[in-house]
Amino acid sequence: VRSLGRPPAWVRVGPGDDAAVLAVADRSLLVTTDALVDGVHFRRGWLSPRALGERAYRVNASDVAAMGGWPRAAVMALEVPRGTPTAILDGIVAGFVRAARAHGAVLVGGNLARGPRLAITVTLLGRPGRRIVTRGGARPGDVVFVTGALGAGAAAVRARRGGRTAAFPAVPDRVAVGAALAGIASAMIDVSDGLLQDLGHVARASGVAIRVAADRIPLAAACRRLPRREGLTLAVAGGEDYELAGTVPRGRRAALQRIARRLGCPCTEIGEVVAGRPAVRLLDASGRALHVARAGFDHLRR
């Protein structure tokens, strides 16, 4: 946003990355905020209050993980419709606190306000890990990776829209993985808007082009059960996966797989960084470009 102007020097990383980085008495602090709004990011009936609280924490922790950091403290602003039972609010907070505790992070404040629909806005502060990884460090020759598998959330949205029941997947906890990857990654981002779109942010911030091999994308089980093209579309364009995607120098590929084994989290090589106009291209096995429409969560937002 242009009107924000040029930040002062103690803002080490300003708006536009997964989290901002502030220098605090010679130390840096990661800062991020994200909201969950009923009807936009979730549907009330899809998640228990506890699962909703956990999700509110994890989507924010995902941004801290994408910078290689550790969550420390959070504040939560709850907006609730009149007549919402106290048990629902208690459940949201309990789910949040429990998920935060897994990282030694604490909820240090909050606000409760009446509103037309349930909305949970969280601001999370984090401590940098061994290195702060931004979206801007990818270089030609680097290998592109993604953690876990993609498309489970989008496939669940699709199933429910079709009137079928489908378990709504929890947001994965990639904080420890992100901190380990920070030792080797040249750039990193969390997959919130869909793999191709999020890698587009990396391409622009780094000034490089990215090629992704369609047949290397790790598909969630629910996507593997769908017709190939449909499952692939949900996996690369569905969004709300909260896996980590990024780049590592070619010489760090073995280290990437060591981290994957040590932490029990698949880190799949899915493509490469090349010189060129910032763009992301999805290629089939014979090198032809595939075009996919936006899918999954986008329909929930509309």
Binding site for Mg ion (CB under 5 A): 18, 63, 190
For 209-238, give the DSSP string.
EEEEEGGGS-B-HHHHTS-HHHHHHHHHHS
Residues 6+ apart with CB under 8 A from 26: none
Residue 144 or 214: the one with the smaller Cβ distance to Mg ion is 144
Q: What share of the chain is helix, strand, coil (3-state, %, to 5)?
A: 35, 30, 35
CA distance 173 to 102: 9
Q: Please report how the helices 49-66 and 86-101 are oriented relative to each other, as an axis angle in degrees rounded to 10.
A: 40
Residue 66 or 226: which CB sits closer to Mg ion?
Answer: 66
Least distance between Mg ion and beta carbon 251 (Å)? 27
> Among residues 190 and 298, whose Cβ is nearest to Mg ion?
190
Output the smallest distance, CB 84 to Mg ion, in A: 29
Q: Measure the CA–CA gap between 51 and 214, rounded to whole angstroms.
A: 32
* Residue closer to Mg ion, measured from CB, 190 or 243: 190
Neighbouring C-beta atoms of residue 291, cutoff 10 Å: 7
Q: Is residue 58 classed as helix, strand or coil in its secondary structure? A: helix
With respect to Mg ion, which residue has the nearer C-beta, 66 or 214?
66
Nearer to Mg ion, 63 or 173 (CB): 63
Closest separation in Å from C-beta 150 to Mg ion: 15
Give least dist CB 271 to Mg ion, A. 19
Query: How far is the first Cα of the chain from the last one, in angstroms, to the nearest whole number?
Result: 23
177, 65 contact by CB (below 8 A): yes
| CB 88, min distance to Mg ion, A | 27
Residue nearest to Mg ion (CB): 18
**Least spacing, CB of residue 95 vs Mg ion, in Å:** 21
User: Closest approach of Cβ 66 to Mg ion, in Å?
Assistant: 5
CB of 134 to Mg ion, least distance (A): 11
- Burial annotation 125-150 (CB, 10 A radius, 16+ → b, else e): bbbbbeebbbbbbbeeebbbbbbbbb
Identify residue 106 by its one-letter amino acid code: V
3-state class (DSSP) for residue 51: helix
Cα 91 off chain centre by: 24
Residue 61 or 214: which CB sits closer to Mg ion? 61
Contact 234, 158 (CB under 8 A): yes
Check if the beta carbon of residue 195 is closer than 8 Å to that of residue 297: no
User: Between residues 190 and 240, which has the closer beta carbon with respect to Mg ion?
Assistant: 190
